[in-house]
């Protein structure tokens, strides 16, 4: 028995990085995966690579009309939804004008980051709940960040949006429980996962190698993570193995949030 046998799953931002790893792993575990993104060319390729019952759909998570169209598509083609992974997100540094620090922040950029990272998740939960109400084992997995738990001085909008995702996850979890819907909702908090999201921060060539080494030296487990590390955590939360788990935050960060930075030296 595969871990997601015959479950209908929608993953946002799945044309690359963590979302792609989740889509591919879930399909290996028997799910019918709806790969969604704004990058249609890459998204199509991911869905084609998965094959079988999977498909690609354009979905800009910040747009409510896109969610309405996606809901119709899912109902017509798959009959309903069992799992939603709200993965799409932007750091904002590349996609918007700066600055992003609290003293000088550009308010339009602040709104754009929140539109994608927070409104995108809130809309996903809204339409995900409606699609999953009839499922006997619904699961919503929200990809927040380690930055939803600690601040980042020069990416304050990103940190704020991810903190809000962490909290909204708990409201959704309690709402669904009170309504007696069979829908659980949990957040994952990745840290330092090596994906294209880091490109603008790492540079190229030797500069990149040095930057990765410097980041790795500050991670308790000594290396940046892989997209699959997050995908396995999402698999647990999506599957019925986690049927008694709702409203939690699961860190996948090599131990960064364990707080080793200020620990006394071993004498």
Active site residues per annotation: 158
Stretch that binds ligand NAP, among 3-11, 86-94, 210-218, 255-263 (CB under 6 A): 86-94
Residues 183 and 180: their CA atoms lie apart, in Å, by 8
Q: Figure out which of the listed residues 19, 124, 128, 254 binds ligand NAP, where binding follows CB under 6 A.
A: 19
Q: What six digits make up the tokens of 194?
A: 């090596």
CA distances from 247 to 8, 218, 252 (A): 22, 29, 16
CA 30, 36, 39, 41 torsion: positive or negative?
positive
Q: What six digits make up the tokens of 120?
A: 């995108």
Element spanning 62, H or E: none
Element spanning 208, H or E: helix 205-217
DSSP 8-state class, residue 182 = S
Min separation Cβ 180 and ligand NAP, Å: 30
190 scored as a contact of ligand NAP (CB under 6 A): yes
Interaction with ligand NAP in 196-225: which residues (CB under 6 A)?
196-197
Q: Are 209 and 255 in contact (CB under 8 A)?
A: no
Min separation Cβ 207 and ligand NAP, Å: 18
Min separation Cβ 136 and ligand NAP, Å: 28
> For residue 249, what are the β-bridge partners?
187
Min separation Cβ 196 and ligand NAP, Å: 4
**Cβ atoms within 10 Å, residue 24:** 21
Contact track, ligand NAP, 127-156, x by CB under 6 A: ----------------x-x-----------
Interaction with ligand NAP in 23-62: which residues (CB under 6 A)?
37-39, 59-62
Interaction with ligand NAP in 92-131: which residues (CB under 6 A)?
116, 120
Residues in contact with ligand NAP by CB under 6 A are 12-13, 15-19, 37-39, 59-62, 87-90, 116, 120, 143, 145, 190-193, 195-197
């Amino acid at each position: 028995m595969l871990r997601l046998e015959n479950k209908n799953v929608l993953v946002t931002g799945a044309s690359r990085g963590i979302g792609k790893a989740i889509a591919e792993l879930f399909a290996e575990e028997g799910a019918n995966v709806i790969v969604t993104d704004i990058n249609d060319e890459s998204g199509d390729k991911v869905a084609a690579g998965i094959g079988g019952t999977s498909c690609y759909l354009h979905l800009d998570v910040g747009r409510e009309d896109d969610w309405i169209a996606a809901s119709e598509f899912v109902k017509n083609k798959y009959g309903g939804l069992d799992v939603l992974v709200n993965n799409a997100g932007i750091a904002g540094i590349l996609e918007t004008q700066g600055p992003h620090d609290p003293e000088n922040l550009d308010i339009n950029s602040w709104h754009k980051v929140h539109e994608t990272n927070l409104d995108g998740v809130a809309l996903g939960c809204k339409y995900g709940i409606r699609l999953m109400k009839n499922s006997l084992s619904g699961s919503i997995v929200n990809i927040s960040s380690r930055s939803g738990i600690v601040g980042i001085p020069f990416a304050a909008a990103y940190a704020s949006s991810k903190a809000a995702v962490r909290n909204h996850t708990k409201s959704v979890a309690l709402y669904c429980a009170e309504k007696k819907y069979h829908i659980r909702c949990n957040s994952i908090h990745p840290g330092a996962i090596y994906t294209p999201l880091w490109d603008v921060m790492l540079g190229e060539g030797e500069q990149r190698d040095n930057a990765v080494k410097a980041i790795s030296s500050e991670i308790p487990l000594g290396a940046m993570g892989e997209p699959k590390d997050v995908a396995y955590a999402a698999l647990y939360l999506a599957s019925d193995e986690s049927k008694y788990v709702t409203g939690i935050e699961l860190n996948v960060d090599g131990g960064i949030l364990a707080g080793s930075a200020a620990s006394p030296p071993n004498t």
